[in-house]
Structure 1
Amino acid sequence: MPVQTLPATEALPRLADFDTIIDARTEDEHALDHVPGAVNWPTLDNVQRIEIGTLYKQVNPFEAKKRGAALSARNIAAHIEREVIDKPRGWRPLVYCWRGGNRSGALATILGAIGFQVTLIEGGYKAWRAALVDDLERIAPTLRYRVICGPTGSGKTRLLHALAAEGAQVLDLEGLACHRSSVLGHLPGQPQPSQKRFDSLVWSTLKGFDPDRPVFVESESKKVGNLRVPDALMDAMRASPCIDLQLSDVERVALLLEDYDFFVRDPEHFCQRLQALTELRGRETVLGWIDRVQAGRTPEVVLELLLHHYDPMYAASIRRNFVQFAQARVQALTDRSDASMTAAAGQLLAGTD
């Protein structure tokens, strides 16, 4: 059966039309980013691709193509034996590689020869990425955001989770970025995704939202850790109505000690991270914080960080960047408990059109 092609712009809204989305690139390329829901069937694996590339440059293209064909044929055979034998005649795969060339073409040709209706993304992942970036810029301004603002430790992320549990539409940028969006926000053992992967995750989340319902999102700066929030999304958030979340200082400290418990369990790691603030706060101040952490006075240091470092910076940034903050709805929390977050989520949903 002849292989069909589909422009990347048309593939964006039609992913659900296909039974399986197959990424024929290497494992490393797939890990960096991929079409949402794609499975990885490398035509050449990481090592083989380097081997063929070296042969192409150091010997000649003809020898590289012969060797590449042999490796590709073995890999494709293994994929078919592992994944395709039980597939019915009506199975419809969507296949792509980097630019829609040899790797995906070889796999698609064999699957088509078997009798499956195979579709290739024209231009491969490269075209898909360009189409996704354009579509992200289009979708972001069409949604109605409600921006949860509040100083560090006020429970913004917990409230987002409570809202999601109550059925609200929630965009958790920190969750997608695997980072808590501050100098101390790196999560141990959880590397951030690539920028491309982050963009794909944001796009996939946004396109699943109902534009007639509000989307709750936490106030963020332009970067979450090392990742940049797409400009169109950032502009839309900054122009949206705000919610001013308030929690007492005592509860904020307790919440942070719970959410950043790895700092409590590993004071030396906390001290190392505090050193990143030396340029902003001065060496003497930071050394004083470190001394107190090492003396077991971490809650005291956390409170001082809030009142003298995070709160002033956050307040200035919010007023400067979020144009509707002056008219924000105040949402005061009684405490940091799950019950308090659930109650606040219910109140917000009841008062949101």
Structure 2
Amino acid sequence: MAYTLTTLPDAALPFDQVIDVRAPSEFAVDHVPGAINLPVLSDAERAKVGTVYVQQDRFLARKIGAALVARNAAAHIEGPLADRDGGWRPLVYCWRGGQRSGSFASILAQIGWRVELIEGGYRSYRRLVSRLLYDDPLPVRPILIDGGTGTGKTQLLDHLARDGAQVIDLEGLANHRGSNFGGWADGQPAQKMFESRLAQAIHALDPARPVFLEAESNAIGTLLIPPSVWQAMKTAPVVRVTAPVAARARFLTTTYPDLTADADLLARRIDALRPYQPGDMIDGWHGLARAGDFTALAEGLIQHHYDPRYARPGKETRPDLGLIEMPGLTDADLAQAAERLRDLVGDGSR
């Protein structure tokens, strides 16, 4: 009944569904990609059983736990699993492949389903992620796209991906646009979930071809880029992109619609720059925000905050593959820049 993960799981797994039976809070932090959560103990139930186990009696805790698992398993069988036919083959796991997943798998097996457990549970999956992102050298060759704020780097990645190039959108995986103004309302995933997403993206790549990434610092919002990826990025070749400041300012007003629509949020993000900018500059930016002159605000931020910070030394150790100057940031401009970038690098996809 045990299935050993030797590589990161993907669509080639010989199972119809992967089921995580851990509590919802555990699942929210991280889980095997594609897994569904059918907890055999809720967060409150898990805490209750653990308290009884530690403070009262181990046998009593196991008895209470067994009753709860059976009750929850019945709800799953009568609910989410009600339409599964006799040939359905699930793969089940919990934290370490112990009592929770074993109990649930036994019930499913008694029904007649060909169920198996991930040997070692979630921990065995997490070891594979850690080995890829923390221990081993990155198995692909990164090419970085570097440029100032508002030069459309994320959109360049989109065009490259549509044209068949290999890309990893770190900001997309981190749910953050990378700057002080870049957070989204629904927040960022946990660090482990970010790493799972990143590991899965790397696992799907062809190591014989380069992969394009946006040049980043070692953190995106609150999330850290794992060591194997960061070490490869530190010495990766760079293609630089530029565009006129006015075009960049107009572009930013279209890519940050959440800020232009929420005056309070925009004011908080401007205030967050007080440690870096004089008070009169901050007050002027607040005035532009209140007046709704978002293009002038974006231009001021580019010229007085972002470009000076971008110009600081530290990137010169990376091999420079060249500069792509864009006359503007329309979709046509970005598409043309993506084509020039692929010609410059020669990514082997055509």
Q: How high is the TM-score relative to the length of structure 1? A: 0.90
Gaps of 5+ in 1: none
What is the percent sequence identity of the aligned residues?
40
Deviation at 1:294, TM superposition (A): 2.2
- Tell me the residue number matched to 2:331: 338
Gaps of 5+ in 2: none
Deviations 1:161-185 (A, max 9, x none): 1111212111001011111111111
User: Does structure 2 conserve the Cα–Cα contact (< 8 Å) formed by 1:4 and 1:118?
Assistant: no
Deviation at 1:303, TM superposition (A): 1.5
Out of 4, 27, 30, the residue aligned to residue 2 of structure 2 is 4
User: Does structure 1 conserve the Cα–Cα contact (< 8 Å) formed by 2:133 and 2:227?
Assistant: no
The structure richer in helix per residue is 1
Say what the alpha-carbon RMSD is for the aligned residues.
Answer: 2.2
Deviation at 1:227, TM superposition (A): 0.3
Out of 180, 183, 191, the residue aligned to residue 187 of structure 2 is 191
Distance verdict in 2 for CA 1:301–1:214, change over 3 Å = same
User: Does structure 2 conserve the Cα–Cα contact (< 8 Å) formed by 1:140 and 1:206?
Assistant: no
Distance in 1, Cα, partners of 2:106 & 2:7: 21
Asked whether 1:130 is paired with 2:96, we answer: no
Q: What is the letter of the counterpart of residue 225 of structure 2? A: V
Deviation at 1:258, TM superposition (A): 0.9
Out of 150, 156, 171, the residue aligned to residue 153 of structure 2 is 156
User: Does structure 2 conserve the Cα–Cα contact (< 8 Å) formed by 1:239 and 1:322?
Assistant: no
Distance in 1, Cα, partners of 2:187 & 2:137: 26
Q: How high is the TM-score relative to the length of structure 2? A: 0.91
SS in 1 for 2:186: coil
Distance verdict in 2 for CA 1:11–1:251, change over 3 Å = closer
Out of 89, 95, 106, the residue aligned to residue 92 of structure 1 is 89
Distance in 2, Cα, partners of 1:321 & 1:15: 40
Distance in 1, Cα, partners of 2:3 & 2:149: 49
Distance verdict in 2 for CA 1:223–1:247, change over 3 Å = same
Asked whether 1:348 is paired with 2:341, we answer: yes
Residue correspondence of structure 1 range 52-91 to structure 2 within 5 A: 52-84=49-81, 86-91=83-88
Distance in 1, Cα, partners of 2:340 & 2:8: 40
Distance verdict in 2 for CA 1:62–1:175, change over 3 Å = same
Asked whether 1:284 is paired with 2:280, we answer: yes
Out of 239, 242, 248, the residue aligned to residue 243 of structure 1 is 239
Distance in 2, Cα, partners of 1:237 & 1:323: 11
Distance in 1, Cα, partners of 2:67 & 2:165: 52
Asked whether 1:323 is paired with 2:297, we answer: no
- Tell me the residue number matched to 1:254: 250
Q: What is the letter of the counterpart of residue 314 of structure 2? A: R
Deviations 1:246-278 (A, max 9, x none): 111110000011111222223332121111111
Deviation at 1:214, TM superposition (A): 1.8
SS in 2 for 1:336: coil
Deviation at 1:90, TM superposition (A): 4.5
Asked whether 1:230 is paired with 2:226, we answer: yes
Distance in 2, Cα, partners of 1:115 & 1:310: 61
Asked whether 1:25 is paired with 2:22, we answer: yes
Distance in 1, Cα, partners of 2:269 & 2:232: 32
SS in 2 for 1:245: strand
Deviation at 1:140, TM superposition (A): 5.8
Residue correspondence of structure 1 range 275-314 to structure 2 within 5 A: 275-314=271-310
